[in-house]
Amino acid sequence: MVVNVSKIDALMKTYDGVETVSVIHSAFDETPTVVAMVEVSSKLSTTSKLEKAFMLTNSVNDAWWKNEGVTPMFPEKGCRSTSVGDMVLIGTEKYKCDSMGWSLV
């Protein structure tokens, strides 16, 4: 029997109350690109998950990709912070960052 370890790991994280969301940079006429996978509590509301992903992919005191719970997915040495116009994928629903809040795409 072949066991898919990545599926088991994902299932265990879900069991432990952790959900992974994708941060997609698409603002500034960019081709949409996944730049990070961010771990958030599955117990949070959708808005709180979106805000957590936004916060963790913004540089304040250090480069955002060094934040705990963030897996960088970009090939370059660095990446800009998440901004208005970028998106976050939670499960099968994609949300766009607006100037105030989020909208379902």
Task: Give me the average pLDDT of each 10-residue run along the chain (105 residues).
Answer: 57 73 93 96 97 97 96 93 98 97 97
Within 8 A by CB and 6+ apart from 10, the residues are: 20
User: What is the token pair recorded at 103?
Assistant: 């909208």
Domain count along the chain:
1
User: DSSP state, 18?
Assistant: E
- Predicted pLDDT at 30: 82
- Predicted pLDDT at 44: 96
- Predicted pLDDT at 10: 58
Question: What is the domain range of residue 37?
Answer: 5-104
CB 39 within 8 A of CB 48: no
